[in-house]
Structure 1
Amino acid sequence: MWHGKARALLAVGFGMALEALACWLIGRLGRSSSSPSWWWWWWLWRRRPPSPVREVLFFPSRVTCVESLLAEETATPCACLLPHGESALGRLLTRLLSARRSLDLCVFAFSSPQLGRAVGLLHQRGVHVRVVTDTDYMALKGSRIGELRRAGIQVRHDQDSGYMHHKFAIIDKKLLITGSLNWTTQAIQNNRENLLVVEDRDCVNLFLAEFERIWEDYNPAHYTFFPKEEQQVQKKDKTIPQTKL
């Protein structure tokens, strides 16, 4: 454990040292306007890779207007009476809508209208969206799964006696959102919940592997919704030659 902490502290210290060195060089070289190196050092410092995302969101979320995040056209200010500003739901929507290529969503219960609209918008923009959910909760009143399916989004669900209880999303195969939060209005506005938003290759790869494993397990080709007796009847029907009319 201490070795891991030591490596993390060394990495942070090394990054701070590099940034300090870059600032010192820029200041040092900037004193001489005749030096052509000033611009090169400034350009190099500006192009340094951004820090990986590390964010924690806690719920219940403050109720705010998120229409500006969800509307396609934002030229007209929202006239609703809800307060405007930062909120946990707004931060989650911002992260979700940052997807450019893919969204792999594995969620137990999904009834939030705002999150449903966000996933639908990503699909309309050409983002490849896949959804895994629980078969019992997807049919409840208020679930957004039906409308996502009607929009053409791929959805797969379990057929086991246990729940598909995961709650995570992977954006562009590099950003992970995971925690206790169900994607429901009840959880967002009333429950004590948490979400971790992290850009870590090792963590993301583990969750990607889990998603792909579940996606294949829930392939409709593997569904067996009918009792064995009905399956045998269906097989017999297939073997009966059809009479040409």
Structure 2
Amino acid sequence: MLLTAVSAWRGLVVVVGLSLAAEGLYYVISHLKRLRERRPAQVLFFPAPVTCVRPLLLSSPGHCRCGLSHRESALSCLTRLLISARRSLDVCVFTISSLELSSTVLAVHGRGVRVRVITDSDYMALAGSQVGTFRRAGIEVRHDQDTNYMHHKFALIDGLTLVTGSLNWSAQGIFGNKENVIIIENTDIVKAFVEEFGQLWNEYDPAKYSFSPQR
């Protein structure tokens, strides 16, 4: 009888302990979520000065003697953010021809991070497009299948950080045009873009292609 009572009390203690642990974990997760949602968005404005971002892509600190400026710029901020991806980098951008940003995507892929790219079928076929370089490196690229443009310009880092704005990933966009990029970590907004990327990724399944530009 005594052993039965002790066992029952032990079981109750375990249940209560697990309940409190779950409640504590929920509190911690909720608190971290609120902190992320309160984190202010960051805004980058372009054009950026011509600077070298190559040292940011190296696996270990290094120096570059190219002669270009290495000072902080909107481009270096964007590069540093993209290269920070640890689990995934999803890119959904109308035009991708910038050597600086394409090198960043390739560097992320080279570390074993999952990289997926969605772009526009018309512009991926133009001279200077980096889509062919991505594909030769083993990065899967998908594109739209109609006469309208796939005109999005956003990227998702680890499914937690959204990079979006008016910027096309081109030399003209980075160094010439008046453009903007906003960096957001609000969970509701990020979730909406994660869902949009997933929907487009499925919609642009190569098994459904009626045409595929050669790039």
In the superposition, the TM-score normalised over structure 2's length comes to 0.79
The alpha-carbon distance between structure 1 residues 114 and 53, as it changes in their structure 2 partners (threshold 3 A), is farther
What is the letter of the counterpart of residue 86 of structure 1?
Answer: E
Partner of 1:66: 53
Shift of 1:73: 4.1
Q: Which has the higher contact order (CA 8 A, sep 6+)?
A: 2
2:68 counterpart of 1:82: yes
Partner of 1:167: 153
In the TM superposition, 1:108-119 aligns within 5 A as 108-119=94-105
In the TM superposition, 1:95-134 aligns within 5 A as 95-134=81-120
Distance 2:200 2:95 in 1: 16
Q: Where has structure 1 moved over 6 Å in runs of 4 or more?
A: 48-51
Shift of 1:53: 5.5
Deviations 1:84-140 (A, max 9, x none): 211000000000001000011100000000111110111111111110000111111
What is the letter of the counterpart of residue 138 of structure 1?
Answer: M
What is the letter of the counterpart of residue 53 of structure 2?
Answer: V
SS of residue in 2 equivalent to 1:159? coil
2:203 counterpart of 1:212: no
2:31 counterpart of 1:54: no
Distance 2:170 2:77 in 1: 16
SS of residue in 2 equivalent to 1:164? coil
Bigger radius of gyration among the two: 1
Deviations 1:17-65 (A, max 9, x none): xxxxxxxxxxxxxxxxxxxxxxxxxxxxxxx967635210000002222
Q: How many residue pairs were aligned?
A: 178
Distance 1:89 1:130 in 2: 21
2:175 counterpart of 1:195: no
Shift of 1:71: 2.8
Distance 2:207 2:153 in 1: 24
What is the letter of the counterpart of residue 109 of structure 1?
Answer: T
Distance 1:79 1:203 in 2: 41
| Identical residues among aligned pairs (%) | 54
What is the letter of the counterpart of residue 97 of structure 1?
Answer: I
What is the letter of the counterpart of residue 65 of structure 1?
Answer: C
Distance 1:78 1:147 in 2: 23
What is the letter of the counterpart of residue 101 of structure 2?
Answer: L
Structure 1's unaligned 5+ residue stretches are: 1-47, 227-245
SS of residue in 2 equivalent to 1:207? helix
Shift of 1:80: 1.9
